Every structure is written in C-alpha cells, then in structure tokens.
Amino acid sequence: MKPQALQIIRDEHLAIAAVLFALRFCVRKIRDEGKAADFVLLRAILDYIVSYPDRWHHPKEDQYLFSAVRERTREADHLLATLQEEHRRGHPMIEDLKQQLLAFERGEPGANAAFCAAAEKYAQVEWTHMRREEDLLLPIAERVLTEEDWERIHAAFRENDNPLFGIKPKDEAERLYRTILSLAPAPIGYAK
C-alpha cells in the first residue's frame, strides 16, 4: 500500500499548481489581451501562496521528508540541496512579488510589466520545483523510507489540520482557494 503521506503531498502539489495556473492565466489576460487587472483576485492568490506552500508545505518537506531521506541514503544529497535552495529562494521571490503588485496597484511606471514577468517566473520556478520533487525525490523516498519514517511524515503533514495547533492553515488555505475560484474568470472559476 502506498504511504498516505505521499498522497497528501501530491494533493497539496495539485492545489498549489491550480493556483499557479490561475496566476499565470490572470497575468496573460493582462499582458497579452490588455485586460484590467483584478487586484482582489491577485491579492488572494499571493495570500494563498504565502499562507500555504511558503509557510506550511515547503517547511514540512524540509523538516520531515527531506531529513528522513537524508538519513536513509546519500544518493539524493545533491537533489535535496537543490530542492532546499529552491525553498529558500521561494520566500524572497513571493515577498518581492507582493511589493511589485503594490507598485502595480499604485500605477507606478513599468510596474505592470515587471509584476507580470515576476509572476510568470515564480509560477515556472514553483512548477519545476514540484515536478522535481514528484519525478525525482518521491520515487527515491518510496524506495528507501521505512513504514515508521512514513508515519512520522504523515503525522507532520496531518498536523497542518490539527486544531490544537492554534490555527488551522488548511482551513485558511481552503477559504483562500474558494475565494480564488469564485473570483477567477472562466474557464478557471466557478460558472457564474
């Protein structure tokens, strides 16, 4: 039987990828079709990225999945270093994107094009990162980790939902996700 944690990680990647797709879709409408920016939607997308992948998903991978693999094998050392570096770089990139969105909203010269370029770049980097994890790291993890390792990883990812934690990031992510779907234009959003 496949470890449950694998399914959680893949599901989280799917949700993150859907939001990145929405971000790129919005950017292309603005940049290629000259459509007005929906700043409420763009802010909801950036809030989601900050509150979920950046604050919860990547740190859990670093702390539990990556460290477990590192303990069982040396074959993934180079890959893990790359993935961790990508986690580290993701945080300043999203902070930068938030600043660029504010400049765009204020109507600063060149801010529109700069935001669109940075958003495309961010989506591309994150996609490549998640693909690398799924195609390269998860198969190694499946091969080398023990049942106990997977249980610990599962417990950590499940903790994202634990009300005793004080906050429930998955609830927050879910709320933002619904906001994004309700605001996004067809074919991404709900039929209006």
Give me the residues that bind Fe ion (CB under 5 A), please.
58, 61, 133
What is the closest distance, in whole angstroms, from the C-beta atom of residue 4 to Fe ion in the complex? 16
Output the smallest distance, CB 57 to Fe ion, in A.
6
Least Å from the CB of residue 154 to Fe ion: 15
Smallest gap from residue 66 Cβ to Fe ion (A): 9
Cα–Cα distance measured from residue 118 to residue 113, given in angstroms and rounded to the nearest whole number: 9
Rounded to whole angstroms, the Cα distance separating 8 from 49 reads: 17
Query: Smaller CB distance to Fe ion: residue 54 or 133?
Result: 133
Of 30 and 145, which has the nearer Cβ to Fe ion?
Answer: 145
Upstream peptide bond of 163 is cis (omega within 30 degrees of 0): no
CB of 87 to Fe ion, least distance (A): 6
Q: Which is nearer to Fe ion, 133 or 149 (CB)?
A: 133
Name which of 58 and 183 has its Cβ closer to Fe ion: 58
Nearer to Fe ion, 4 or 112 (CB): 4
